[in-house]
Amino acid sequence: MQLQFLGTGAGMPSRERNVTSIALNLSERPVSWLFDCGEGTQHQILRTAIKPGRIEKIFITHLHGDHIFGLPGFLTSRSMSDSKGPLTLYGPPGIRHFVETTLSLSGSWVSFPMEIVEVGAGTVCEDHSHRVIAAPMNHPVECYGYRIEQKDKPGALDADRLTADGVPRGPWFYDLKQGRQVTLADGRIINGWDYVQPAIKGKTLTIFGDTSPTDAGLMLAKEADLMVHEATLEAAMEQKANSRGHSSTVQAARVAQQAGARRLIITHLSSRYQREACPRLLAECRAIFPATEMAHDFSLFNL
């Protein structure tokens, strides 16, 4: 999996940072998931290799404008480009009303199958390869963070052992990889699990919505391989950040530390900070959680 940040600013865009949006490019299939869609997101996408028609899911954390005002434009442009692939939109209660109202009042529509799911705490969606869990954040409006769990992948067949045991290649290899029993031409019955290597553990990614510190965050980020957390203001302005439902650099680092996360990426930085301030903000985090990185617009991170 690969994360690409399309917007890393807070509240309003600046010359260096657009407002929030993150794309998750899956490794299993050539599709992307979008987390939030602030104003100008579709313009940012044009500067990447991401294909709007291959964005199959959008997860909205909350209904503040810097996280959703780019959504109507993205949906209508996706339609105008004649994309036919289905799209599922997840978000807090009210997301359906927002989308339907903006499309209706602007005389717009979507030309592809679209499902809107209003989420609550718990499992949001699950398929054969991933599960997404939502947890409530501490913010002035209803807001969620998302935990994306990649399921374990079956281990590969032990080719050397199969050869040593005189098992010839053939279509029965598929059954063996599923752990099934196979009867060979010479009458031998072999058990697939005897030849399957240990499963490959899936990765876990946590993307927080806007929030001041909350116990739910520790559950959401527990032992995550990668955690994305807002760091709207510096440590000296922590009280102001918390009063508006946001976190400081130090508070984001403490969540990563206490949750046992392996890596932290900070984003959602106030427009008051220009590029020269970034090393200082990053240093505040690394003093507590050394494995911290800072996202900039178009930053790429691999899991």
Segment 254-275, tens digit of pLDDT: 999 999 999 999 999 999 999 9
48 and 180 co-located in one domain: no
pTM of the predicted model, to two decimals?
A: 0.89
Residue 144, pLDDT score: 98
Nearest by Cα to 204 from 125, 266, 268, 263: 263
Nearest by Cα to 229 from 287, 132, 71, 214: 214
120 and 235 co-located in one domain: yes
- Distance from CA of residue 21 to its chain's centroid? 10
Q: Is the pLDDT of residue 154 over 80?
A: no
pLDDT digits (tens, 9 = 90+) for 42-79: 999 999 999 999 999 999 999 999 999 999 999 999 99
Residue 193, pLDDT score: 84
What φ, ψ does residue 112 adopt, rounded to 5°?
Answer: -120, 160
Q: Which two tokens stand for residue 200?
A: 């490959």
pLDDT digits (tens, 9 = 90+) for 218-233: 999 999 999 999 999 9
Q: How far is CA 8 from CA 35, 167, 213, 255, 286, in A?
A: 12, 54, 20, 19, 19
Contact in structure between 90 and 84 (CB atoms under 8 Å): no
24 and 73 co-located in one domain: yes
Q: Which two tokens stand for residue 163?
A: 């050869």
144 and 68 co-located in one domain: yes
User: What CATH number is given to the structural domain containing 270?
Assistant: 3.60.15.10
Residue 178, pLDDT score: 80
* Residues 199-207, mean pLDDT to the nearest whole number: 91
131 and 226 co-located in one domain: yes
**End position of a domain, from candidates 195, 223, 247:** 195
Beta bridge partners of 134: 122, 146
Q: Is the pLDDT of residue 27 over 80?
A: no
Confidence of residue 185 (pLDDT cuts 50, 70, 90): confident
91 and 66 co-located in one domain: yes
Please give the full DSSP string across 252-300, using - where no structure is assigned: HHHHHHHHT-S-EEEE-EETT--GGGHHHHHHHHHTT-SSEEE--TT-E
By residue count, the chain amounts to: 303
Residue 177, pLDDT score: 80
Establish whether 66 is a catalytic residue.
Answer: yes
Confidence of residue 16 (pLDDT cuts 50, 70, 90): very high
**End position of a domain, from candidates 145, 179, 195:** 195
173 and 131 co-located in one domain: no
CA atoms within 13 A on the CB side of 8: 25
User: Taken in order 297, 86, 67, 222, is the CA torsion positive or negative?
Assistant: negative
176 and 44 co-located in one domain: no
Higher pLDDT, 166 or 88: 88
pLDDT > 70: percent of the chain? 100
pLDDT digits (tens, 9 = 90+) for 73-130: 999 999 999 888 999 999 999 999 999 999 999 999 999 999 999 999 999 999 989 9
- Spatial distance between the Cα atoms of 210 and 92, rounded to a whole number of angstroms: 13
- Total domains in the chain come to 2
22 and 119 co-located in one domain: yes
Instruction: Specify binding-site residues for Zn(2+).
Output: 62, 64, 66-67, 139, 210, 268
List the domain range (segments joined by +) for residue 186: 159-195
- Pairing label, strands 264-267, 226-230: parallel
Catalytic residue chosen out of the listed positions 36, 66, 82, 175: 66
**Chain mean pLDDT for the chain:** 94
Residue 21, pLDDT score: 98
Residue 281, pLDDT score: 97
206 and 184 co-located in one domain: no
Amino acid at 162: L
- Spatial distance between the Cα atoms of 31 and 18, rounded to a whole number of angstroms: 23
172 and 269 co-located in one domain: no
Residue 103, pLDDT score: 96
Residue 285, pLDDT score: 98
Residue 3, pLDDT score: 96
Higher pLDDT, 57 or 151: 57
Confidence of residue 180 (pLDDT cuts 50, 70, 90): confident
144 and 170 co-located in one domain: no
